[in-house]
Amino acid sequence: MAATTTEAEAGSDFRERFGRNFERAAQAPGRVNLIGEHTDYNGGFVLPTAIPQKTRAEVARRSDRRVRAASAEADRGRISEFVLGEETRRGAWIDYIQGVTAELARRGLAVPGFDLWIQSAVPLGSGLSSSAALEVSVLRALRDLAGFPLDDVTLALVGQRAENDLVGAPVGIMDQMASSLADVGVALFLDTRSLASERIPIPRGAGLLVVDSGVRHDHASGDYRRRRAECEDAARRLGVRELRDLTVERRPDLERLPEPLRRRARHVVTENERVIEASAALRRSDLPLLGRLFDASHESQRDDFEVSVPAVDAIVAAARAEPGVFGARLTGGGFGGSVVVLAGADGDADRGPRIVERAARAGAPAARLVVVSGEKG
Ligand code: GLA
């Protein structure tokens, strides 16, 4: 995948900030979730894939206990600093880095001081996991720099913990696992309880478009947290460890739950089933079925889980009105963010712009195309 800058340019950015060359560099991609939304913190299944856009981290060791970090995308490239062992939340982007070093230390790893330069092509706040790409790219660079014995799954767990603890966002494990283990053109079927995963190639005939609504989400804010608490409450009332454990035979029990818990739990239970079906559809290259599952997932998120917004619904409707589109759904945490569209890989380069234009007229004025993938012809 083409990097956003050449090595030479990237190197000079680091040198400009820190007056020397970087020692190690690593990248990690953003992700788009194909299906399986709000299932990861319920012990369920997800099916993300990597997007072509990546985050790149360059690091060089320091001889003291300081971390000095700057990002081309944040704070106009200004350097932020902290001392290892004194990590505390500031409500700024540096919290992701502080979270990573604090968690590595908690695991008994001797983190050296370092200088860090970040560049990212992953759109921020679009539901495409710019934060997981940041955590995983920095962790990969540090693993290399300090020789930490961390496998890719552990790397994802460190990233999630950084986000849960220091950043204060109660996210599940999907994004970090996708950034750490997924590739473009391959979907990652993941059991978020066991962390067992299977790589399923995305068929050649499938094209994916991602349209950002331009409406921003904020995971640290109350809505995501509230949904998570509702799911935990529903599981408690039903006497199961997590909603993942609600077997088909026990489905009628959902009816005993008060609203909105009944609908929240119904979304999670049916979404888990859709992920299983979607994985089978993907293996068989059954794109029409996969598209219908996208559509059903969107309706469930909109009506039962209530995480969609009008601009997102307008994009989904605009996509579905396009010939060659199999299905479309809200992807990511919701309350804004992006829509993933499954279409044929027929080389129709105007499809994305047409969807954006129609959506803009129908209530999504800030819509823009952020990812296009799939082979032509
Ligand atoms: C965000 C979180 C994930 C997951 C999704 C919803 O992206 O980071 O852990 O919960 O929302 O599926």
Residue 233 lies in a domain: yes
What would the DSSP string read from start to end of 6-49?
Answer: -HHHHHHHHHHHHSS--SEEEEEEEEEEEE--S-GGGT-EEEEE
Q: Nearest to residue 172, comparing CAs of 35, 332, 338?
A: 332
Domain boundary among 138, 171, 199: 199
Q: Are residues 156 and 271 in the same domain?
A: no
Q: Whose CA is nearest to atom 8 of ligand 1?
A: 171
Question: Which amino acids are annotated catalytic?
Answer: 175
The predicted pLDDT at position 2 comes to 41
The structure tokens listed for 355 are 């969807």
The predicted pLDDT at position 217 comes to 64
Q: Are 298 and 341 in contact (CB under 8 A)?
A: no
Report which ligand 1 atom has the smallest distance to the Cα of 174. Answer: 9
Report which ligand 1 atom has the smallest distance to the Cα of 163. Answer: 8
Residue 1 lies in a domain: no
Measured in angstroms, how far is the CA atom of residue 175 from the centroid of ligand 1? 7
Measured in angstroms, how far is the CA atom of residue 332 from the centroid of ligand 1? 6
Domain boundary among 199, 220, 255: 199
Give whole-number Cα distances, 159 to 130, 146, 305, in Å: 12, 17, 26
Alpha carbons 159 and 177: distance in angstroms, whole number: 9
Q: Whose CA is nearest to atom 9 of ligand 1?
A: 172
Residues of the chain with pLDDT under 50: 1-5, 8, 10, 220, 376-377
Q: Are residues 151 and 194 in the same domain?
A: yes
Measured in angstroms, how far is the CA atom of residue 174 from the centroid of ligand 1? 6
Beta pairing partners, 80:
69
Report which ligand 1 atom has the smallest distance to the Cα of 129. Answer: 7
Q: Are residues 33 and 160 in the same domain?
A: yes
Beta strands in 41-173 (DSSP E): 45-61, 66-71, 80-83, 114-120
3-state SS assignment for residue 240: coil
Q: Whose CA is nearest to atom 1 of ligand 1?
A: 333
Plot region of 306 (φ>0 → left; ψ -120 to 50 → alpha; else → beta): left
Q: Are 123 and 30 in contact (CB under 8 A)?
A: yes
Residue 300 lies in a domain: yes
Alpha carbons 174 and 241: distance in angstroms, whole number: 19
Q: How many domains is the chain partitioned into structurally?
A: 2
Q: Are residues 72 and 103 in the same domain?
A: yes
Q: Whose CA is nearest to atom 5 of ligand 1?
A: 333
Q: Are residues 267 and 195 in the same domain?
A: no
Q: Are 319 and 341 in contact (CB under 8 A)?
A: yes
Q: Nearest to residue 211, comparing CAs of 371, 59, 100, 62?
A: 371
The structure tokens listed for 315 are 């994009």
Measured in angstroms, how far is the CA atom of residue 156 from the centroid of ligand 1? 14
Domain containing 208 equals 203-374
Q: Are 330 and 307 in contact (CB under 8 A)?
A: yes
Residue 359 lies in a domain: yes
pLDDT digits (tens, 9 = 90+) for 49-106: 999 999 999 999 999 999 999 999 998 899 999 999 999 999 999 999 999 999 999 9
Best substitution site from 35, 46, 136, 175 to test ligand 1's pocket, by max atoms within 8 Å of Cβ? 175
Q: Are residues 78 and 209 in the same domain?
A: no
Residue 336 lies in a domain: yes
Alpha carbons 38 and 307: distance in angstroms, whole number: 10
Q: Are residues 329 and 224 in the same domain?
A: yes
For residue 252, give the CATH number of its domain: 3.30.70.890
Q: Are residues 293 and 344 in the same domain?
A: yes
* Element of type H or E holding 158: helix 152-162
Residue 357 lies in a domain: yes
Report which ligand 1 atom has the smallest distance to the Cα of 38. Answer: 12
The predicted pLDDT at position 218 comes to 61
Q: Are residues 184 and 230 in the same domain?
A: no
Q: What is the DSSP letter of 164?
A: I
SS (H, E, C) 309-375: CHHHHHHHHHHHCCCCEEEEEEECCCCCCEEEEEEECCCCCCHHHHHHHHHHHCCCCCCEEEEEECC
Report which ligand 1 atom has the smallest distance to the Cα of 333. Answer: 11
The structure tokens listed for 18 are 């820190």
Q: Nearest to residue 31, comparing CAs of 40, 22, 23?
A: 40
Residue 2 lies in a domain: no
Measured in angstroms, how far is the CA atom of residue 206 from the centroid of ligand 1? 24
Query: Residue 26: what residue type?
Result: A
Best substitution site from 39, 161, 174 to test ligand 1's pocket, by max atoms within 8 Å of Cβ? 174
Q: pTM (2 decimals)?
A: 0.94
Domain boundary among 199, 231, 246: 199
Q: Which residues line ligand 1 (CB under 6 A)?
A: 37-38, 40-41, 171-172, 174-175, 332-333
Q: Whose CA is nearest to atom 2 of ligand 1?
A: 171
Q: Are residues 162 and 178 in the same domain?
A: yes
Q: Are 165 and 103 in contact (CB under 8 A)?
A: yes
pLDDT digits (tens, 9 = 90+) for 193-234: 999 999 999 999 999 999 999 998 665 478 999 999 999 999
Q: Are residues 135 and 161 in the same domain?
A: yes
Q: Are residues 30 and 138 in the same domain?
A: yes
Best substitution site from 31, 32, 34, 38 to test ligand 1's pocket, by max atoms within 8 Å of Cβ? 38
Q: Nearest to residue 319, comparing CAs of 210, 185, 217?
A: 210
Query: Residue 287: what residue type?
Result: L
Measured in angstroms, how far is the CA atom of residue 172 from the centroid of ligand 1? 6
Alpha carbons 40 and 16: distance in angstroms, whole number: 41
Residue 358 lies in a domain: yes
The predicted pLDDT at position 4 comes to 46
3-state SS assignment for residue 252: helix
For residue 146, give the CATH number of its domain: 3.30.230.10
- Count of Cβ atoms closer than 10 Å to residue 69 Cβ: 24
Measured in angstroms, how far is the CA atom of residue 314 from the centroid of ligand 1? 22
